[in-house]
Structure 1
Amino acid sequence: MSNAVAEAPADNPANESGIQSFLVTFIVRRFDPEVDAEPRWVDYDVELYATDRVLDALHKIKWEVDGSLSFRRSCAHGICGSDAMRINGRNRLACKTLIKDLDISKPIYVEAIKGLPLEKDLIVDMEPFFASYREIQPFLIANSTPEKDKERVQSIADRAIYDDTTKCILCAACTSSCPVFWTDGQYFGPAAIVNAHRFIFDSRDDAADVRLDILNDKEGVWRCRTTFNCTEACPRGIEVTKAIAEVKQAVLRGGR
């Protein structure tokens, strides 16, 4: 974590409350398919506070400087996952990335996530990502019927086995950080495998063999090169690489 905020020029003005503000340069990779043949970098100077987020800076640019800037965001609280983007070369959620955690003595580079078709500015086409997600059948498949007016019972220990992978918010940060995904448009990608893991290891589900068969494919779990990019990129702290390894082991065992 950088301490650059504390080292910013002391002559920057403070507002009436005495809170220090900083002039931060953002360099955003812009692309308008109706105008641009190739993406271009555009710089913006934005006055921010240390506790502001990158999303706040993008809002300020769009609302006060250039209304044509396009990006996705919804909840702004790290839950919806819609504002995943590359910030200084790393996949992050703009709403969770604080200015104080970045080195503002240098420009902050912002661009769309990689590996998915670029639509405009920071917006990519998520359909290939969700197509892989749908293919692993991300829903409970049970052959038995629970007792009338009863839920399907599961022990605390059984629930703990897949607890980590229930945290996925489908932001695509992990998948679009994967070098294999960048070069192979057919690879399922980490997020799809994480969501398969969530049901493969759910004791209430009866289709683990179906999902393992789907992932035991040349474009499935065996394409993972264990670079840990996905784990580092996950804004929810999911141990993505570990989950993929556990699915590989299940494939080798022939079941969970």
Structure 2
Amino acid sequence: MSTPTLEKQDQAPEPADATAAHTITVTFRIRRFNPEVAAESYWEDFQLDIDPKERVLDGLHKIKWDHDGTLTFRRSCAHGICGSDAMRINGRNRLACKTLIKDINPEKPITVEAIKGLTVLKDLVVDMDPFFQAYRDVMPFLITTGNEPTRERLQTAEDRERFDDTTKCILCAACTSSCPVFWNDGQYFGPAAIVNAHRFIFDSRDEGGEQRLEILNDRDGVWRCRTTFNCTDACPRGIEVTKAIQEVKRALITRRF
């Protein structure tokens, strides 16, 4: 008995303009700044035909590659891990690589500008040195005493859970540059530095908690927080930043961590 076979059905070729049928015309309104040309920034519009399911980062690529090669912005992995493409999109801090065009009302101009509170070097690129200096100041590494261990430092699942949320930080500066206290005074450590201090203060294997708490007890430390929740809203990783800051404040008062 022969096995029945299915005849291969001829498929009609997809129209050449099928991709174009899924595109819409979007206006990108970008805040430009080039200190070698002018002392003031200005807004410049670009019109793109783009699939609304693409990301804002894709739109910036199209502008740079097809319209204006001088457009300057940071990006690396393009998958929400490196944190290098944080910028203000429609007035909110976001990662350009995680923001879909369809989710931000493409019927109106999409505004894109550099994050606030840090010096703009060119277009969407800011000077991150003060941000990373605050990060380094809180000693974001494991501190222990005594001899080097001969086996792994063990930790229970419950102990690990205590600081799990703050291990998610990708140092994108979205939280710090959304903080009104940081806007007004760049000396404030900022939410990201406090989050990374929290990650080690509450690590049961670490012995440098007291040192970090004293650093954050400074006039530019954790007490400058006004609990506006901007940082929590801005975090692309969903970290409960404001909660972490409050836990550090409580540890400073009780010395229990």
TM-score (norm 2): 0.92
Aligned counterparts of 1:237 and 1:146: Cα–Cα separation in 2: 35
Match of 1:174? 175
SS of the equivalent of 2:72 reads: coil
Change in 2 beyond 3 A, CA 1:120/1:232? same
Q: Percent identical across equivalent pairs? A: 68
Please report how far the alpha carbon of residue 18 of structure 1 lies from its aligned counterpart in structure 2 after TM superposition: 7.2
Aligned counterparts of 2:255 and 2:153: Cα–Cα separation in 1: 25
Q: Which runs of 5+ in 2 are unaligned?
A: 1-15
Amino acid at match of 2:27: T
Number of equivalent positions:
243
Match of 1:231? 232
Match of 2:184? 183
The residue correspondences of 1:243-254 to structure 2 (distance < 5 A) are 243-254=244-255
Whose radius of gyration is greater, 1 or 2?
2
Aligned counterparts of 1:144 and 1:94: Cα–Cα separation in 2: 45
Match of 1:202? 203
SS of the equivalent of 1:51 reads: coil
Match of 1:60? 62
Pairing partner for 1:51 from 50, 53, 57: 53
Please report how far the alpha carbon of residue 174 of structure 1 lies from its aligned counterpart in structure 2 after TM superposition: 0.2
Match of 1:142? 144
Amino acid at match of 2:49: E
Aligned counterparts of 1:207 and 1:240: Cα–Cα separation in 2: 21
Determine if the alignment matches structure 1 residue 161 to structure 2 residue 162. yes
Root-mean-square deviation over aligned CA pairs:
1.4
Contact 1:81/1:170 (<8 A) preserved: yes
Please report how far the alpha carbon of residue 145 of structure 1 lies from its aligned counterpart in structure 2 after TM superposition: 4.1
SS of the equivalent of 2:46 reads: strand
Determine if the alignment matches structure 1 residue 122 to structure 2 residue 131. no
Match of 2:9? none
Aligned counterparts of 2:130 and 2:83: Cα–Cα separation in 1: 16
The residue correspondences of 1:79-158 to structure 2 (distance < 5 A) are 79-145=81-147, 147-148=149-150, 150-158=151-159
SS of the equivalent of 1:209 reads: helix
Change in 2 beyond 3 A, CA 1:17/1:124? closer
Amino acid at match of 1:134: R
Match of 1:215? 216
Q: Where do 4+ consecutive residues of structure 1 move more than 3 Å?
A: 144-147
Deviations 1:38-69 (A, max 9, x none): 00000000111121000000000000000000
Contact 1:208/1:255 (<8 A) preserved: no
Match of 2:71? 69
Please report how far the alpha carbon of residue 255 of structure 1 lies from its aligned counterpart in structure 2 after TM superposition: 3.8
Aligned counterparts of 2:40 and 2:240: Cα–Cα separation in 1: 36
Please report how far the alpha carbon of residue 184 of structure 1 lies from its aligned counterpart in structure 2 after TM superposition: 0.6
Match of 1:42? 44
SS of the equivalent of 1:71 reads: coil
Please report how far the alpha carbon of residue 19 of structure 1 lies from its aligned counterpart in structure 2 after TM superposition: 4.8
